């Protein structure tokens, strides 16, 4: 049955290939939507699926108004499924081999200016435990370009060299060590040394760095909420800010100050330099603005 083969693929994706939880969840949603579409066409077995079935599914997604990015991801999910099934000889031929690729529209990442970023972070300057924690969280996200999932999984033992370095467990369980700037290191050391105990309530078994008022590790949604609250307090629209925007700011601001693109790739934990190169387009847009503003013939 197709549904059984999808579950087999998702298990292989998670346990054999070490894919991140978010990737597995996204692929699961995409492939269940695919299975539902095929079921309405009377296809219940993987071996019955044809290239025309897959093309019809992608066409229906476009007609429903799905974005190019979503369609590209769903194409990748279907390709990966049948690649896995063909490799295991569950299907005799891969129906995606001659399928046209869905091109993903390339969009520039949202970034705040340096002034906006500093205004948001520096606006959290109290000695209340919540202020100390939130300041350390913002400084850490911006100071080393962490993903929100990496921040939620960040543990005390991952802070090394007196807070000058942090160990980050990224996608696919790949580990990288990233230096913290002095401002981020000060904020993190202050939080761990003073305010964190207020939230952990003396629970020595809790090793996550950032915990909620209930003494539990943060969820992604909890981090989003704090960042948007702090942005609003600094006069920045909440829809312009997220944990990933701070990651983008980390990369693009470093590039603007002359950092090497390959160094940024290592710090962000990108497997492919092409993923990191999008920040050169962000910087190029800034150069264009300067040219238009200052060149006498612009």
Mean pLDDT, residues 130-159 taken together: 94
Q: Is the dihedral of CA 130, 208, 120, 232 positive or negative?
A: negative
Mean pLDDT, residues 226-241 taken together: 93
Residues 36, 177, single domain; the answer is no
pLDDT of residue 191: 95
The CB-side HSE value for 77 (13 A sphere, CA atoms) comes to: 24
For residue range 4-51, list pLDDT tens digits in order.
999 999 998 888 777 778 888 989 999 999 999 999 989 888 988 988
pLDDT at residue 163 greater than cutoff 90: no
The total of structural domains in the chain comes to 2
Residues 215, 78, single domain; the answer is no
Domain extent at residue 287: 114-292
146 inside domain: yes
62 inside domain: yes
Please confirm, yes or no, whether 244 is among the known catalytic residues.
yes
Average pLDDT of the chain?
A: 86
Determine which one of 27, 142, 191, 279 is catalytic. Answer: 279
The CA–CA distances, whole Å, from 52 to 9, 49, 63, 73, 97 equal 22, 8, 16, 19, 12
Mean pLDDT, residues 269-298 taken together: 65
Determine which one of 147, 190, 196, 230 is catalytic. Answer: 147
For residue range 165-222, list pLDDT tens digits in order.
889 888 777 888 888 888 999 999 999 999 999 999 989 999 999 999 999 999 999 9
Residues 236, 167, single domain; the answer is yes
Determine which one of 190, 196, 247, 248 is catalytic. Answer: 247
What percentage of residues in the chain have a pLDDT greater than 70?
88
Determine which one of 119, 176, 244, 286 is catalytic. Answer: 244
Mean pLDDT, residues 267-271 taken together: 82
CATH, residue 77: 1.10.150.130
CATH, residue 118: 1.10.443.10
Residues 121, 195, single domain; the answer is yes
Determine which one of 14, 186, 270, 286 is catalytic. Answer: 270
Residues 282, 140, single domain; the answer is yes
18 inside domain: yes
pLDDT of residue 292: 65
Residues 145, 273, single domain; the answer is yes
Please confirm, yes or no, whether 247 is among the known catalytic residues.
yes
Spatial distance between the Cα atoms of 137 and 180, rounded to a whole number of angstroms: 12
**Which tokens hold the place of 239?**
């829809």
Q: Which residue has the higher pLDDT, 200 or 96?
A: 200
Determine which one of 79, 171, 176, 220 is catalytic. Answer: 171
Bin 269: left if φ > 0, else alpha if -120 < ψ < 50, else beta.
Answer: left
Q: In what order do the strands lie in the sheet with 175-179?
A: 159-160, 165-169, 175-179
Give yes or no for a contact between 146 and 154, defined as CB atoms under 8 angstroms apart: yes
Please confirm, yes or no, whether 270 is among the known catalytic residues.
yes
**By mean pLDDT, which of 12-26, 60-74, 185-199, 283-297 is the weakest?**
283-297
Please confirm, yes or no, whether 208 is among the known catalytic residues.
no
298 inside domain: no
Mean pLDDT, residues 276-289 taken together: 64
51 inside domain: yes
pLDDT of residue 224: 94
- Name the band, by pLDDT with cuts 50, 70 and 90, for residue 94: confident
Residues 119, 242, single domain; the answer is yes
């Amino acid at each position: 049955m197709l549904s059984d083969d999808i579950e087999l693929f998702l298990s292989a994706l998670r346990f054999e290939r070490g894919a991140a939880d978010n990737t597995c969840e996204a692929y699961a949603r995409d492939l269940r939507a695919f299975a539902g579409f095929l079921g309405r066409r009377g296809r219940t077995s993987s071996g019955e699926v044809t290239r025309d079935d897959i093309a019809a599914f992608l066409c229906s997604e476009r007609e429903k108004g799905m974005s190019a990015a979503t369609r590209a991801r769903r194409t990748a999910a279907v390709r990966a499924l049948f690649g896995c099934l063909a490799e295991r000889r569950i299907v005799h031929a891969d129906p995606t081999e001659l399928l046209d690729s869905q091109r993903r529209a390339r969009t520039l990442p949202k970034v705040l200016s340096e002034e906006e970023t500093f205004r948001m972070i520096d606006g959290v300057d109290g000695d209340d435990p919540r202020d100390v924690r939130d300041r350390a969280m913002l400084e850490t996200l911006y100071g080393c370009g962490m993903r929100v999932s990496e921040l939620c999984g960040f543990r005390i033992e991952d802070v090394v060299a007196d807070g000058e370095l942090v160990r980050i467990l990224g996608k696919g369980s790949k580990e990288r060590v990233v230096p913290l700037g002095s401002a981020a290191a000060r904020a993190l050391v202050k939080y761990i040394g003073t305010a964190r105990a207020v939230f952990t309530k003396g629970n020595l078994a809790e090793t996550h760095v950032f915990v909620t008022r209930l003494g539990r590790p943060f969820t992604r949604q909890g981090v989003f909420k704090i960042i948007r609250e702090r942005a609003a307090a600094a006069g920045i629209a909440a829809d312009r800010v997220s944990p990933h925007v701070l990651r983008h700011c980390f990369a693009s601001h470093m590039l603007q100050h002359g950092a090497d693109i390959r160094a940024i790739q290592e710090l962000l934990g990108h497997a492919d330099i092409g993923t990191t190169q999008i920040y050169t387009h962000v910087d190029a847009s800034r150069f264009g603005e300067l040219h238009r503003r200052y060149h006498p013939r612009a």
